[in-house]
Structure 1
Amino acid sequence: MKHAVILAHPKPTSFCATIARTCVEHLRAADQEVVLRDLYALDFDPRLKAEEMPTQSGATPASDVAAERALLKDVKSLIFVYPFWFNAPPAILKGYVDRVLSMGFGYASIGGRMEPLLDGVTLMSFSTSGAPEHWVNSTGALKALMTVFDLHLCGVCGLRLLDHKHFGDVVSNMTEEWAQDMLHQVRGELNDLFDVAYA
């Protein structure tokens, strides 16, 4: 099985980056193929260009988008890793979705209807915030995000949503014990979802 871990955090020392590396290492240790797409390290441009916008005759991706789609063409699992900024994903991840998972790759327009093209591909998300996890859940922030982002993306592209695991209280002075507990939960999710044999 081939996975693509999509990291959307500007700091290579962030806890999100640690989660992404943990995903890559854990899955590779189980002999699964993984590609890491660190969007900030790649200097990915999230801005959809006018010439990329769909028309009645279709859509023409820019060269960077075409290259990204070629890399993802045989991926069966997307794993998003990102922080909550104003209870939403960073703009770079939204732009990645807008440009890469759009018409011609994520979906097609057939007879005026959108037809999903990513049936059989799964989506898993790991997100973080400095706010306590109970606050993110009690205010409905996670549920709202999943409605407008996770579930909508899956509905349009045909992805199968596996889970969205959010970690709160991710702050600069968090304890090493808390960090290791969260990473243990990440490995546990991967074990459960992808039948990974390592604990």
Structure 2
Amino acid sequence: MNILVIYAHPYDGSFCKGILDTVVPAMEARGANVKVKDLVKMNFDATMRPEDLKATVTKTYTAEVQQEQKDVLWADAIVTICPIWFGSVPGFLKAYFDKVFITGFGYDYTGGLLQNKRVFSLFTFGSKDPYLTLANQYKGIEYLWDNIFSMVGFKDIAVKYFQGVPRATDQERAQYLVEAIEFVDQIYDKKLGEIGQIGAGELLVKLVIEGKLVMPTVQIEE
């Protein structure tokens, strides 16, 4: 089992780092080959450059993007770990998928090109319910994840939330870490397709294949 972990937090003392340091050994203990992408320490370029956009036509990717695409193809599953800021994932994590899953690699007019892969995402919140529900933060994240991962053909999209992390007690945090391990254990304990999609992404791809819907494409003017 090959697992690619994409970690997006700038502070090594964060609870997200605690999750990372907990789930990676747990997955390795179950026999996984794990690669960790710490986007901050990698200094991943979060800006969409002209050459990145042109690659939708030329298929000539930067060396940085090529390496990430190679690792995505290597992985059976992706695990993401990040905080939620202003109701969404950090911009540099979204930028990673914008650049790596770009048209021509992640999807084209026929549908998703990264079939039978899975994503398991762990998110931390500073706030708690009822605010998170009233502010539609769960829905916003799930719609975003469905649009990204269903678009490129992922079979399973699973999410796990941890509320009120800054004010959580040591006991609560310890329980959160137990739950984090149980969550990633699904990569082994659940068969491909058992978790399924969050929303309508799979249906949209089906409509494309049937010729009832046209996938979006990037327009490049020479």
* Bucket of the pairwise TM-score, normalised by the shorter protein: 0.7 to 0.9
Question: Unaligned 5+ residue runs, structure 1?
Answer: none
The residue that corresponds to 2:25 in the other structure is: 25
Instruction: Tell me the C-alpha RMSD between the 2 structures.
Output: 1.8
The residue that corresponds to 2:12 in the other structure is: 12
- The aligned length equals 190
Higher helix share: 2
CA distance in 2, matches of 1:184, 1:138: 28
Runs of 4+ in 1 over 6 A off after TM superposition: none
CA distance in 2, matches of 1:63, 1:6: 18
The residue that corresponds to 2:61 in the other structure is: 61
Give the Å deviation of 1:87: 0.5
Q: Are positions 1:162 and 2:144 aligned together? A: no
Change in 2 beyond 3 A, CA 1:155/1:72: closer
Give the Å deviation of 1:159: 0.9
- TM-score, normalization: structure 2? 0.79
Identity of aligned residues (%): 25
CA distance in 1, matches of 2:28, 2:41: 21
Kept in 2: contact 1:81–1:125 (CA 8 A): yes
| 1:126 aligns with one of 122, 136, 142 | 122
| 1:191 aligns with one of 146, 170, 185 | 185
The Cα offsets for residues 38-97 of structure 1, whole Å up to 9 and x where unpaired, read as 101111111111111147734421111112222332101011111111011111101100
Residue identity in the other structure for 1:121: K
Question: Unaligned 5+ residue runs, structure 2?
Answer: 191-222
CA distance in 2, matches of 1:81, 1:56: 28
Q: For structure 1, which segment, 152-161 or 86-95, has the greater mean C-alpha deviation from structure 2 after superposition?
A: 152-161
For 1:4-153, what aligned pairs fall within 5 Å after superposition? 4-54=4-54, 57-107=57-107, 109=108, 113-147=109-143, 149-153=144-148
The residue that corresponds to 2:208 in the other structure is: none
CA distance in 2, matches of 1:125, 1:141: 15
Residue identity in the other structure for 1:164: V
CA distance in 2, matches of 1:15, 1:56: 37
